[in-house]
Structure 1
Amino acid sequence: MALRRGFKAEAKRLALEVRAELGVHVFAPLDPYALAELYGIEVHDLSDPSLPRDAVRHFTGPAADAFSAALVSVGRGCVIIENHVHEPNRRRSTIAHEMAHVLLEHDFGVLLTDGEQCRSSSSDLELEAAELSGELLVPCDAARTAAFRGWTDSSVARYFRVSRSMARWRLNATAARRIARCTKAKGRGTLAADAARAG
């Protein structure tokens, strides 16, 4: 499975537009809950008393890893229901993913997020939502800046408030580290050549 041609550039543009709407610089952490609020999407968690108690006990206990969130259609809009027992960075990633579906205007009934994977009728839509949510949380340009600064996966994760696996994926998917290595190597080669000519 691969993203459709040109989608990465489209996701990059859209993420920058959304960050501008929120007043968030490209090299700053984005709050996905603020994004949901901006778009009028309510976020509820499994502590909501209207939810079936047995299901809540199941998904906050023995099956906590089986359910991260659901984007649920309500009337003409939608709400997000998230699993509040997950750690904060996972929850941020989950909300960003669900908001990516909203921003991309994907058709849905209920989209169930399971960890950092989603289950729905279209894996193409899930790939698109994953790419856009990654671009929202750790933009391509920010990943490259971090790589040039020599930041580790842990440093990127701490700064952008994402998991280490998300940080690693963004640094790899954007080719940030490879570009930083090649640029630095090219710079060293140029300096060596200049020194040889001068000597």
Structure 2
Amino acid sequence: MSLRRGFRKLAREITLEVRDELGVGVFAPLDPYALAELYGIEVLDTSHPCLPPESVRHFTEKRPHVFSGALVPLRPSGALIIENHVHHPRRRRATIAHEMAHVLLEHPFGLTLTDADGCRAVAPEIEEEATELSGELLVPTDAARLAAFRRWSDQAVATHFRVSLRMARWRMNVTGARRVAARTWGKRLRAHAASA
């Protein structure tokens, strides 16, 4: 599956607007919890006493890998995010960014279906858009390119932006950051050699 035409550009525009609203520069780590607060979205983790203990045990002890988080609609309007408190803090940041991407993109809640694990099953294109926007929020394209020009490793990117190594690697690859840097360095070397 591929993103709809122009979506990556839209994700970059949304990211710049959101970072401006939060007062966070493009090369600074974004706090997804502050983003949720800005939009009035409460975040509860699975240790919250209002959640059914049997469900919490299932998703935190028996099958913690099947549930990272969910955006839950509230009536008459609004939403909250539930996140899995046993996951690593960097994964939790990605989860909150992903759920906030659904909010920012105004994805409809519609009918919520569940898969065999008891987790939400939604349209793949909606999840792909939320994944792309959450990645852009956490490691913007322009920031990935700057990191490539600084010759940062994936681990350095992960550490700076407080994301997992997997997320850092994906963002550096999907943005083409290192290819852009390599082409620029190649052009400079050729120009320098031609002028020498």
- TM-score computed with the length of structure 1 as normaliser: 0.92
Letter in 2 for 1:178: R
Is 1:70 aligned to residue 76 of structure 2? Answer: no
Partners in 2 of 1:52 and 1:85 — Cα distance?
Answer: 16
Partner of 1:170: 171
Contact 1:72–1:111 (CA under 8 A) maintained in structure 2: no
Stretches of structure 2 lacking an aligned partner (at least 5 in a row): none
Alignment root-mean-square deviation, CA: 1.4
Question: What is the rounded CA distance, in whole Å, between the counterparts of 1:158 and 1:64 in structure 2?
Answer: 24
CA distance in structure 1 between the partners assigned to 2:52 and 2:97 by the alignment: 26
Mapped contact 1:143–1:170 kept (Cα < 8 A): yes
Match of 2:17 in 1: 17
In the comparison of the two structures, how many residue pairs are matched? 190
In structure 1, the partner of 2:91 is 90
CA distance in 2: counterparts of 1:163 and 1:131, whole angstroms: 15
Instruction: String of CA shifts for 1:150-171, please: whole Å, max 9, x gaps.
Output: 0000000000000011111111
Q: Which residue in the other structure is 1:193 paired with?
A: 194
Q: Distance in 1 between matches of 2:121 and 2:14?
A: 23
CA–CA separation in structure 1 for the residues paired with 2:43 and 2:81:
5
User: CA shift at 1:121, angstroms?
Assistant: 2.5
State how 1:117-136 maps to structure 2 within 5 Å.
Answer: 119-136=120-137
**111 and 90 in structure 1: CA distance in 2 versus 1, 3 angstrom threshold:** farther
Moved more, 148-157 or 47-56: 47-56
> Mapping of 1:152-171 within 5 angstroms?
152-171=153-172
User: Superposition pairs for residues 176-187 of structure 1, below 5 Å?
Assistant: 176-187=177-188
What SS does the corresponding residue of 2:62 show, helix, strand or coil? Answer: coil
Task: Name the structure 1 match of 2:44.
Answer: 44
* Deviations 1:21-65 (CA, angstroms, capped at 9, x unpaired): 000000100000000000000000111112111111121112111
Letter in 1 for 2:78: G
4+ residue stretches of structure 1 with deviation over 2 A? 109-112, 118-121
Shift of 1:120: 3.0
Identity of aligned residues (%): 64
Letter in 2 for 1:101: H
Contact 1:71 1:111 in 2 (8 A): no
Question: In structure 2, how many angstroms separate the alpha carbons of the residues matched to 1:16 and 1:186?
Answer: 29
Alignment-derived partner of residue 115 in structure 1: none
Alpha-carbon shift at residue 193 of structure 1 (Å): 1.3
In 2, the alpha carbon distance for the partners of 1:121 and 1:21 equals 29
Letter in 1 for 2:161: F
Distance (Å, rounded) in 1 between the aligned partners of 2:122 and 2:13 = 26
TM-superposed CA distance for 1:186, in Å, is 1.4
